[in-house]
Amino acid sequence: MKILLCFGTRPEAIKMAPLYYELKSKQLEVIVCVTAQHRQMLDQVLDFFEIVPDYDLDLMQANQSLNKLSAKILCKIDEVLIIEKPDLILVHGDTTTSSMVALAAFHLGIKVGHVEAGLRTYNKKAPFPEEINRQLTSRLVDFHFTPTVQATQNLLNEGILPKSIIETGNTVIDALLWTINKISKKDYHHPEIEKLKKEIPSKKRIVLVTGHRRENFESGLRNLCEALLKISEREDVTIVYPVHLNPNVKRIVSELLSNKKNILLIQPVSYPVFIWLMQQSFLIVTDSGGIQEEAPSLGKPVLVTRDVSERPEGVKAGFSTLVGTDKNKIINTIQLILDDFKGFKKSKNPYGNGDTSKKIVDYLMFCNENIYSGKSVK
């Protein structure tokens, strides 16, 4: 069986990396194609996981519209699919790459598996454009690898056939555990980590912050920054904020938070460095989806600066708290956690325990064996 993995962003690369190695371990023919809709951040992950793409479409351009990106992905991936003729394509999550590659494969009659399928907010503007990307992809693919019971139920509610849904957990936990194992070794040294050890006060609690969602640009981001300024008045806290490269983010964060006491603004960090920062942190404030999945395995509380989350399992289990972009709510919730948090009573991560890639590959191997023997898959 020839399998094509196609992804374009840093989060996709992180979550597909353990799957790539699991497929390779079974001696399957694996082709990797990256669209590079993110360039620098994608390359960092590829380097860390030692993955060399067979095809690099190199589609990133500054201030590129979603329509232009979508059109370029459709055109360029068409050439790859015609050359390689894969038996199956695996796409991930909610990106423009995933939805457009799934559409291109559908046009050519190639089967597609969707890793991290079934996440929903049912608000097409939040997150934008990811929610619609997810829904489009679900209508196009043949296999849905869902991370949780809720994601499975979402697809069932939408009329997806039960036999095409395989509940597996999330590969991000596989990647997280693999990374922790690697960076914890005595012979592992990273210059960024060594530098941060010197810059971050060792006796203060770290509030780790990320923010990049389009829907939070301008007023939402300003509210977050003003809340962080208030928190920075505490002498027991250091706020560490790797600032996203998007100029809409950099401009506001630099304007409001540069050269402020107890706030350390840093350049975007590589994946292993960010995992190290998460390990050192007391709490995390973010609008990221992946961090909501990773943090429970590290025992870190998360404040989600979004009004809705397609990852309700973490909220329900008490690992995450939705605070939106209301300045006072962000301030009050951070203060409460800093003053009262003593750890989680529940320790099981609802998004998996590190064996997701194995489950996906075992299923594909089972399908392959039965297809060639003429048996029904299910």
Per DSSP, the three-state class of 319 is coil
Tokens coding 279: 């390990």
Q: Which residues, in sequence order, are CB contacts of 20 under 8 Å at separation 6+?
A: 5, 30, 32, 49, 51
Residue 362 burial class via C-beta count within 10 angstroms: exposed 0-12, middle 13-18, buried 19 and up: middle
pLDDT attached to residue 60: 87
User: For the whole model, what pTM was predicted?
Assistant: 0.91
CA–centroid distance for 268 within its chain: 15
In a domain, 183, yes or no: no
Instruction: Let me know whether 10 and 145 are in one domain.
Output: yes
- What is the Cα–Cα distance from 88 to 109, expressed in whole angstroms? 10
Q: Furthest-apart CA pair in the chain: how many Å?
A: 68
In a domain, 297, yes or no: yes
Can you count the helices (H) and strands (E) in the chain?
Answer: 15, 13
Q: Is the dihedral of CA 351, 354, 357, 358 positive or negative?
A: negative
Half-sphere exposure of 300 (CA within 13 A, CB side): 27
Write the CA distances from 111 to 20, 57, 308, 364, integer angstroms: 18, 21, 32, 12
In a domain, 184, yes or no: no
Instruction: Let me know whether 356 and 236 are in one domain.
Output: no
Question: Which residues are identified as catalytic?
Answer: 94, 116, 130, 212, 214, 244
Instruction: Let me know whether 230 and 288 are in one domain.
Output: yes
331 is in which domain, residue-wise? 190-340
For tokens 């919730």, the residue is 333
In a domain, 306, yes or no: yes
**Residue pLDDT, tens place only, 304-352:** 999 889 999 999 999 999 999 999 999 999 999 999 999 998 778 999 9
Instruction: Let me know whether 328 and 197 are in one domain.
Output: yes
Q: Residue 207's closest CA among 180, 253, 258, 241?
A: 241
Tally of domains in the chain: 2
Q: Which phi and psi (to 5°) does residue 57 adopt?
A: -80, -20
- What is the Cα–Cα distance from 141 to 113, expressed in whole angstroms? 6
pLDDT attached to residue 345: 83
169: left (phi over 0), alpha (psi -120 to 50) or beta: left
What's 286's domain CATH number? 3.40.50.2000
pLDDT attached to residue 109: 97
Instruction: Let me know whether 132 and 215 are in one domain.
Output: no
In a domain, 30, yes or no: yes
In a domain, 185, yes or no: no
Instruction: Let me know whether 272 and 369 are in one domain.
Output: no
Instruction: Let me know whether 217 and 100 are in one domain.
Output: no
pLDDT values of the chain reduced to their tens digit, one per residue, 378 residues: 999 999 999 999 999 999 999 999 998 999 999 999 878 889 999 999 999 999 999 998 888 899 999 999 999 999 999 999 999 999 999 999 999 999 999 999 999 999 999 999 999 998 899 999 999 999 999 999 999 999 999 999 999 999 999 999 999 999 999 999 999 999 999 999 999 999 999 899 999 999 876 666 668 899 999 999 999 999 999 999 999 878 878 899 999 999 999 999 999 999 999 999 999 999 999 998 899 999 999 999 999 999 889 999 999 999 999 999 999 999 999 999 999 999 998 778 999 999 999 999 999 999 877 654 445 444
Instruction: Let me know whether 358 and 248 are in one domain.
Output: no
- What is the Cα–Cα distance from 285 to 274, expressed in whole angstroms? 13
Instruction: Let me know whether 199 and 334 are in one domain.
Output: yes
Instruction: Give the orientation angle of helix 271-280 with respect to helix 191-199, to 10 degrees.
Output: 30
For tokens 């597996």, the residue is 168
Instruction: Let me know whether 95 and 126 are in one domain.
Output: yes
Label the pairing between strands 29-34 and 2-7.
parallel
